[in-house]
Homo-oligomer: A and B are copies of this chain.
């Protein structure tokens, strides 16, 4: 009985790792498609998203079955719920890859212009965050998860700077506004990937520490949470 239970947990864990690998790869591919302007890589991203959607279902069903049949307690229950939440975030990483791939197709129809935004750097940071957030989950390492939260600041900063760059370009070379806008949207998609990794890291902290540190940064900023209207 407990053997079967632990096998189910292991299977779930393994499946989530496959999902995470696919999500990471989809971002790497989308950024590569942008870098070398290769629409055949866009096709891979699009098909990968469909595969990610399918595996998301399978993971949810496995988690549901496990909860229904094994009724895990305490730490195993927390683990299973964390999987369900992390699964949803990884699926949306796939959506972001797909958005990037759509933008690369749009760019391909326009004259090529240099937009000085370091998309590969942002992509590599965002992918690192996804990898590290999942690793922190596997190793139940809340400190590693905390490190992911810090990395998010770098991506946000790069995205803000992409915004400024795009805006300058729109003003100085209005004929290239469309290209600048597409690149900005790619930058935002990567920022969103980083947000999903952050959500994963927060779930790990909630799960490992048993205490919820989500939203800690904003509240530490000194916003008064006591004088809130009830609704």
Contact = CB atoms under 8 A, between A and B. Distances in A.
Contacts of A84: 81, 84-85
A35 interface: no
B54 A225 contact: yes
Interface string A165-193: 01100111011011001001000100000
Query: Chain A's interface: helix, strand, loop or mixed, by majority?
Result: helix
A59 to B, nearest CB: 11
Contacts of A227: 47
A39 interface: no
Given A67-B67, A77-B68, A177-B167, A53 B215 contact: yes
Contacts of A228: 47-48, 50-51
22 contacts: A18-B231, A22-B231, A47-B224, A47-B229, A48-B229, A51-B228, A51-B229, A53-B215, A57-B212, A64-B77, A68-B77, A81-B84, A84-B84, A85-B85, A163-B181, A166-B181, A167-B177, A167-B178, A170-B174, A170-B181, A171-B175, A172-B174
